[in-house]
Amino acid sequence: MTRTGTPAPSRANTALWKPSSRTCLPPTAATSQTVNDILERLPVLIVLDGLDEVARSATRERVVYEIDRFVARLHTALRPQVIVTTRPNVGGLAEPSPERFETIALNRLGETLRITYLHKWARARAIPEKEARSLERIFRQRSAEPHISQLADNPMQLTILLYLMHKRGNSVPANRTDLYTSYMETFLVREAEKTAAVDEHRTGLEEVTAYLGWHLQARAEREGGKRQLPMRELQRAILNYLFDVGKNTTLVDDLFTAVTGRVWALTSKVQGTFEFDVQPLREYFAARYLYEFASADQRAFDRAEVLCQLRHLGSRARRSKHRSSSRR
């Protein structure tokens, strides 16, 4: 299997398992003929993961062309299955032929899949059975809370939530603001262990994320619910913010790489755009920006007045929603 985004080499750059001898062949022994023999003799599932990572139009067309050619050549008796994974794209980039591929969209995790994921997560971490049962009990109880449930409907967020619950047990915060603060602290620690840029720019990441929360929240309210930002606009927003607050704008490349790599709460559900995965997280960061950062260069900024206006807007929205429900 080769990863999308690079042409298939004449010799696969991987080691192959040879069932007849139960030995692992060195990379130099994996020729195209070896692959053909495997496809002829064994049932095979081929997964080409991450087509959305091929962002350049010309390269994307080449990769898709080669995928379609490869599938067209698969006429073996065992009919191998081929899966290509990608995020939806709004930029008109090439995609595999609908005549050869069926499009399947993934839904959010339901309750049954969440519990199944919890069990597998606990086994993968070798958590003792008693602790695993306690974790499941806590998760089932807390999942009744809307802000917990919203964080549990995709695998990445569920992983962080389970880690937090396993670490803190019943002491996981019930207050939504405290919960999101603990969640993001856990998220950043986890990402910092994997990415040096996150560890180096952690303070900047938190501030920029708070600003983006406010920026996207304001955009959503001003433009009737638009909650996404195209890649270029997101990069421009980060650059402008760093310039306006007098921070080093050369950090933007590292910061933006962190964003595109699914660091913190921003995700790319549709290729070429970014958004907060759940609305309450966007609102949390918007409020955090207003409270912690917005007044940095404005002496006359009154946090109490901002909070008063937010409460007023929230009350007005609730009254409007109540009137609408009454009319129905």
C-alpha to C-alpha distance for 307 and 252, rounded to whole angstroms: 31
Q: What is the largest CA-CA distance in the chain?
A: 77
Report residue 86's pLDDT band, with 50, 70 and 90 as the boundaries: confident
C-alpha to C-alpha distance for 274 and 258, rounded to whole angstroms: 12
C-alpha to C-alpha distance for 210 and 23, rounded to whole angstroms: 52
Q: Look at 176 and 257; give whichever has higher pLDDT.
A: 176
C-alpha to C-alpha distance for 162 and 132, rounded to whole angstroms: 11
Report residue 8's pLDDT band, with 50, 70 and 90 as the boundaries: very low
The two three-digit tokens of residue 128, written as one number? 């003792």
Q: Look at 131 and 108; give whichever has higher pLDDT.
A: 131
Report residue 7's pLDDT band, with 50, 70 and 90 as the boundaries: very low
Report residue 19's pLDDT band, with 50, 70 and 90 as the boundaries: very low
The per-residue pLDDT for range 54-83, each reduced to its tens digit, is: 878 899 999 999 999 989 888 766 778 899
Residue entry with tokens 């962002």: 55
Point out the least confidently predicted range of 197-206, 209-218, 278-287.
197-206
Amino acid at residue number 190: R
SS (H, E, C) the chain: CCCCCCCCCCECCCCEEECCCCEEECHHHCEHHHHHHHHHHCCCEEEECCHHHCCCHHHHHHHHHHHHHHHHCCCCCCCCEEEECCCCECCCCCCCCCCCCCCCCCCCCCHHHHHHHHHHHHHHCCCCHHHHHHHHHHHHHHCCCHHHHHHCCCHHHHHHHHHHHHHHHHHCCCCHHHHHHHHHHHHHHHHHHHCHHHHHCHHHHHHHHHHHHHHHHHHHHHCCCCCCEEHHHHHHHHHHHHHHCCCCHHHHHHHHHHHHCCCCCEECCCECEEEECCHHHHHHHHHHHHHHHCCCCCCCCCHHHHHHHHHHHHHHHHHHHHHHHHHC
Q: Can you give the pLDDT at residue 299?
A: 62
Point out the least confidently predicted range of 145-149, 223-227, 290-294.
223-227
Q: How crowded is residue 242: how many other Cβ atoms within 10 Å of its Cβ?
A: 20
Using an 8 Å Cβ cutoff, are 255 and 205 in contact? yes
Q: Can you give the pLDDT at residue 3?
A: 37
The two three-digit tokens of residue 314, written as one number? 């929230």
β-pairing, 273-276 vs 229-230, is antiparallel
β-pairing, 81-84 vs 45-48, is parallel
Q: Look at 4 and 221; give whichever has higher pLDDT.
A: 221
Q: Can you give the pLDDT at residue 229?
A: 83
Report residue 129's pLDDT band, with 50, 70 and 90 as the boundaries: very high
Q: With the CA atoms of 9, 14, 20 and 22 taken in that order, what torsion angle do they form, in degrees rounded to the nearest 10?
A: 170
Is 143's pLDDT higher than 80? yes
Is 95's pLDDT higher than 70? yes
pTM: 0.61
Residue 19 backbone class (left: φ over 0; alpha: ψ -120 to 50; beta: rest): alpha
Report residue 319's pLDDT band, with 50, 70 and 90 as the boundaries: low
Averaging pLDDT over each range in 125-129, 172-176, 295-299, which range is the top one? 125-129
Q: Can you give the pLDDT at residue 1?
A: 35
Percent of the chain having pLDDT more than 70? 73
Q: Can you give the pLDDT at residue 314?
A: 52
The per-residue pLDDT for range 239-286, each reduced to its tens digit, is: 888 888 888 777 666 655 544 545 456 777 777 788 887 788 888 888
Q: Can you give the pLDDT at residue 291?
A: 82
Q: Can you give the pLDDT at residue 131?
A: 94
Work out the mean pLDDT of the chain and round it to a whole number.
77
Name the nearest CA neighbour of 95 among 46, 149, 51, 145: 51
